[in-house]
Amino acid sequence: MHQNVYLRNGVAYFPTVAKTEAGFYVLVEPVVEVSVSNVIGLRNALGDIIARDNVIIPTPKRNAFPPSLLPKHAGVKTDRAFMQGASQWAIDRKNGNYQIIGYRVHQDGYWVQDGTQKIGFPKDAPTDSVVDRMIAILQDAARE
């Protein structure tokens, strides 16, 4: 399981993450938007994304790649505009182990994993502990 969480202007975005037959991930609808001040909404959205597996979709052709979803949901025109002031994290689960991974914007304008922002959890850690930690991360980042 691999899910992405984005934060921009006090709003957390939870897109549906699909895995292509080629093995890479793309964002698809629906996208859930929740204010970081809404703890119950965050808890529900995080619980929902953690509970679902990634759907497998056909690999899009290079010339038919789906348009980016997040700018539309945030009311901006481009990925670059969305990324300004935004943060991204991934929640991964592999063999019962959860990990939260922070991202940063690469100088060339795309998201890359930030090795200094990795949080591992013990094997078979309860989902609630992952959800609680992610809520704290989102609320701390929103205050900065």
Express each pLDDT in 25-43 by its tens digit.
Answer: 999 999 999 999 999 999 9
CATH number at residue 81: 3.40.1590.10
Percent of the chain clearing pLDDT 90 (strictly above) = 88
CB 19 within 8 A of CB 2: yes
Alpha-carbon torsion angle 123, 129, 131, 135, nearest 10: -130
- In the chain, the number of structural domains is 1
Taking CA 79 as the corner, what is the angle to CA 77 and CA 85, rounded to the nearest 5 degrees? 100
Neighbours of 130 (CB within 10 A): 20
pTM: 0.94
Q: Tokens representing 42?
A: 């965050």
Q: What is the reported pLDDT for 127?
A: 95
Give the three-state DSSP class for 16. Answer: strand
Q: Which domain holds residue 111?
A: 2-143
pLDDT, mean of residues 37-65:
94
Give the dihedral sign, CA 3/143/118/135. Answer: negative
Q: Which of 70, 75, 55, 73 is nearest to 111 (CA)?
A: 70
